[in-house]
């Protein structure tokens, strides 16, 4: 695994020891960023179920100001810390060992809002997608033009919309699928 583009292009990322995580492949990561826009002009990213931190690190390399990484696995959290430190991204990163639901409550309590959210829970937790995408909106954690990138098993069909989060693109890479959501404006009644 490596950083595909930006300030840290070509730098290698350490993998989480063992088989508890499923890192996004470089090919899928490159395609994902080509779809959402190759570079960013600031803002915050949230990497839920971060694993190695590869997606949040890629966003930082491509111009996101700050990234928050969350995972419940202590080995993953240690790996993320090592990866951001090795790449000199510690000052632009916040890393927490926490459950996604509790973490979202805490982030909302700080008044944070994210332009970009990576959502990659264990594939067997299909209900997490709706729950977390809805909670991101309910807690006002998304900017008006936010993107949510949800990685899931290709044999799972996510909904076309969760509240104001509308899917605008779907891509499959073998057994992996990515559903791309963007936040749309509230519909006003006539």
At 22 the pLDDT is 66
Answer whether residue 38 shows pLDDT above 90: no
Whether residue 187 has pLDDT greater than 70: no
Ordered structural domains, the chain, with CATH? 26-183 (3.40.50.150)
Strand-pair category, 142-153 with 66-71: unpaired
Mean pLDDT of the chain: 92
Give the mean model confidence (pLDDT) for residues 18-33.
81
- Tell me what percent of the residues of the chain surpass a pLDDT of 90: 81
* pLDDT band (50, 70, 90) for residue 9: very high
pLDDT digits (tens, 9 = 90+) for 50-88: 999 999 999 999 999 999 999 999 999 999 999 999 999
pTM greater than 0.85 (yes/no): yes
pLDDT at 186: 59
């Amino acid at each position: 695994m490596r950083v595909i583009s930006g300030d840290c292009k070509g730098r290698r990322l350490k993998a989480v020891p063992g088989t508890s995580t499923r890192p996004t492949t470089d090919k899928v990561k490159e395609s994902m960023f080509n779809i959402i826009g190759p570079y960013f002009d600031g803002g915050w990213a949230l990497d839920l179920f971060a694993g190695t931190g590869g997606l949040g690190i890629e966003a930082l390399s491509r111009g996101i100001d700050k990234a928050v990484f969350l995972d419940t696995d202590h080995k993953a959290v240690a790996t993320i810390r090592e990866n951001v430190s090795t790449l000199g991204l510690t000052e632009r990163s916040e890393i927490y060992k926490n459950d996604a639901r509790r973490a979202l409550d805490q982030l909302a309590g700080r008044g944070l809002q994210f332009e970009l959210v990576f959502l990659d829970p264990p594939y067997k937790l299909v209900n997490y997608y709706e729950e977390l995408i809805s909670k991101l909106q309910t807690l006002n954690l998304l900017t008006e033009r936010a993107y949510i990138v949800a990685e899931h098993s290709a044999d799972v069909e996510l909904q076309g919309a969760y509240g104001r989060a509308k899917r605008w693109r779907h891509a499959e890479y073998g057994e992996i699928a990515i559903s791309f959501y963007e936040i749309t404006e509230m519909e006003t009644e006539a």
